[in-house]
């Protein structure tokens, strides 16, 4: 079998990587893209099997991701999906390494986090692309001898031929270029002294690349003070290891952390939920609205972290043990903090109340930004008169014990048709209520601000009498005019 050589690596002018492509990884990340998205890795990151990779000094999270690599054999420019696979010469194994400690520094380009020397080992063997069905490949990864990734290409979000065809629409894929095609669930973190191995094979066992071996060592040269410094937090640890449990962190139900900085809160308060919703949809998130509720303060826009409370259907023997005294409902309200939003799962049950004036007042005194329930509200006039907004399904005079038992707090719940976790970011205004995953909030806010800026321009042009044809959304001609308009505003 042909082997990956230094000469082959030297021929690679581009290394292109796909963000998410395996359903198992999409489920783990909590987002499924509608279209593939990519980032570049420098060719200087390429390395052979048996190489040693350095975890940079001061970094904690060197992530590994076993991937199938495609090596282009003949140039591809504007090729169709049917012809695209003919432009691939070789299939091999790769390890898409990166330090999560530097993800923050490049706003999604991944240059520093994934571009380090040796961060893209490939090999050792080459499988001829014309000898295999690209939908019948298997990718496996071992960490210190234990199998941690094992998946196949039969149900990829974006089959390999589609990736080649898609990329070729805008750029020429040249002979020797390498495409990393995504990683399945199971990617994690390697530490100095660890060994990571990746193998690509045909499902029927006919061909195999052999195991791509990479050893990790500790870097000794610190980062200079004129560049970005390594930094990490529990969110990065969770994403690097694949779960909070694997990262050794407390369960998410108990971890309502400070994911909402004042700066991020101000950004989210400056944009409408309609804009945020369209940006969430672009990221494949369509089921993140709490539906069917009315606000006591529709004039207010609120942003805050979710705290959660779950009611279960009343069963008399269980209500005796869980319904009285300082129950889960009272605990939730008495522990809500400044700026947090208490979200209640009442199963859409409208036949009783879930909160009344006394407990709503207690939440307001503690500084809650809002209360959200997909059930009823008692003492409605008093609750509606409060400064704190309450989102509700309907008024109802009955106490909660008619239909509910307060069961538990700060767990994953369902409210108004969507899932809410403790620590999710809630944004609500007159248009509705959105649940925003904290990991997406910063980029979501920035893109929403940019979108609304474009819409200001579009509205001005419509006001001046222009047709929306080509203007909304902006075609290339109108986008150029918008950029000139934006430049003029910046110079005012």
- The DSSP line for 384-447 is HTSSS-EEESEE--S-GGGTEEEEEESS-EEETTEEE-TTPEEEEETTEEEEE-HHHHHHHHHH
CATH, residue 28: 3.90.850.10
**Per the domain annotation, does 222 fall within a domain?**
yes
Same domain membership, residue 450 and residue 428: no
Q: Is the pLDDT of residue 267 over 80?
A: yes
**Per the domain annotation, does 248 fall within a domain?**
no
Same domain membership, residue 133 and residue 43: yes
Same domain membership, residue 401 and residue 332: yes
| Final residue before a domain boundary, out of 180, 209, 241 | 241
Boundaries of domain holding 126: 6-241
Reported confidence tier of residue 252, pLDDT bands at 50, 70, 90: very low
Q: In what order do the strands lie in the sheet with 51-55?
A: 51-55, 212-218, 195-202, 137-143, 146-152
Q: How far apart are CA 266 and CA 328, in angstroms?
A: 32
pLDDT at position 491 is 66
Q: SS3 helix, strand, coil % of the chain, rounded to 5?
A: 30, 30, 40
**Per the domain annotation, does 69 fall within a domain?**
yes
Total structural domains in the chain? 3
Q: How far apart are CA 364 and CA 352, in angstroms?
A: 22
Q: Is the pLDDT of residue 107 over 80?
A: no
Same domain membership, residue 139 and residue 64: yes
Same domain membership, residue 165 and residue 37: yes
Same domain membership, residue 217 and residue 279: no
Same domain membership, residue 342 and residue 461: no
**Per the domain annotation, does 322 fall within a domain?**
yes
**Per the domain annotation, does 287 fall within a domain?**
yes
Q: How far apart are CA 135 and CA 155, in angstroms?
A: 8
- Window from 7-21, 27-41, 166-180, 262-276 with minimum mean pLDDT: 27-41
**Per the domain annotation, does 128 fall within a domain?**
yes
Residue-wise pLDDT for 148-200, tens only, equals 999 999 999 999 999 999 999 999 999 999 999 999 999 999 999 999 999 99
**Per the domain annotation, does 253 fall within a domain?**
no
Same domain membership, residue 300 and residue 213: no
**Per the domain annotation, does 250 fall within a domain?**
no
| Residue 267 CB contacts under 8 Å (≥ 6 apart), including other chains | 445, 446, 449
Same domain membership, residue 384 and residue 287: yes
| Final residue before a domain boundary, out of 438, 457, 472 | 438
Same domain membership, residue 462 and residue 425: no
């Amino acid at each position: 079998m042909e082997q990956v050589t230094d000469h082959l690596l030297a021929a690679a002018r581009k290394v292109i990587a796909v963000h998410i492509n395996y359903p198992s990884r999409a489920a783990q990340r909590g987002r499924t893209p509608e279209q593939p998205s990519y980032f570049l890795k420098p060719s200087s990151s390429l390395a052979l099997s048996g190489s040693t990779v350095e975890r940079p000094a001061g970094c904690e999270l060197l992530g590994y991701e076993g991937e199938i690599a495609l090596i282009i054999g003949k140039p591809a420019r504007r090729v169709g999906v049917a012809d695209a696979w003919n432009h691939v010469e070789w299939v091999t194994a790769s390890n898409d390494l990166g330090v999560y400690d530097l993800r923050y520094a490049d706003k999604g380009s991944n240059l520093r986090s994934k571009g380090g020397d040796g961060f893209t080992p490939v090999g050792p063997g080459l499988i001829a692309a014309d000898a295999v069905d690209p939908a019948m490949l298997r990718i496996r990864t071992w960490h210190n001898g234990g199998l941690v990734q094992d998946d196949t290409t039969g149900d990829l979000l974006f089959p390999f031929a589609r990736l080649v065809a898609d990329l070729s629409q805008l750029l020429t894929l040249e002979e020797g270029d390498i495409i990393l095609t995504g990683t399945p669930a199971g990617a994690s973190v390697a530490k100095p002294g660890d060994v990571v191995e990746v193998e690509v094979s045909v499902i029927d066992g006919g061909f195999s690349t052999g195991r791509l071996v990479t050893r990790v060592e500790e870097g000794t040269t610190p980062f200079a003070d004129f560049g970005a410094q390594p930094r990490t937090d529990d969110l990065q640890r969770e994403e690097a290891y694949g779960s909070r449990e694997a990262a050794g962190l407390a369960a998410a139900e108990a971890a309502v952390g400070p994911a909402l900085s004042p700066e991020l809160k101000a950004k989210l308060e400056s944009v409408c939920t309609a804009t945020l919703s369209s940006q969430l949809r672009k990221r494949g998130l369509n089921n993140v609205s709490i539906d069917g509720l009315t606000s006591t303060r529709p004039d207010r826009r609120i942003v805050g972290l979710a705290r959660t409370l779950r009611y279960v259907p009343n069963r008399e023997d269980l209500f005796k043990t869980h319904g009285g005294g300082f129950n889960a409902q009272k605990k939730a309200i008495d522990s809500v903090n400044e700026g947090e939003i208490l979200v209640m799962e009442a199963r859409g049950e409208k036949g009783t109340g879930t909160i009344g004036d006394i407990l709503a007042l207690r939440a307001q005194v503690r500084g809650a930004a809002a209360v959200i329930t997909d059930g009823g509200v008692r003492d409605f006039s008093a609750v509606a008169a409060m400064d704190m907004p309450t989102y509700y399904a309907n008024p109802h005079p009955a106490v909660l014990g008619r239909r509910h038992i307060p069961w538990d707090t700060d767990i994953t719940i369902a409210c108004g048709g969507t899932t809410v976790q403790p620590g999710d970011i809630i944004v609500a205004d007159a248009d509705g209520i959105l649940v925003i995953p904290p990991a997406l909030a910063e980029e979501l806010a920035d893109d929403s601000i940019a979108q609304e800026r474009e819409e200001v321009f579009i509205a001005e042009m419509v006001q001046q009498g222009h047709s929306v044809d080509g203007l909304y959304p902006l075609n290339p001609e109108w986008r150029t005019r918008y950029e000139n308009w934006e430049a003029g505003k910046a110079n005012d």
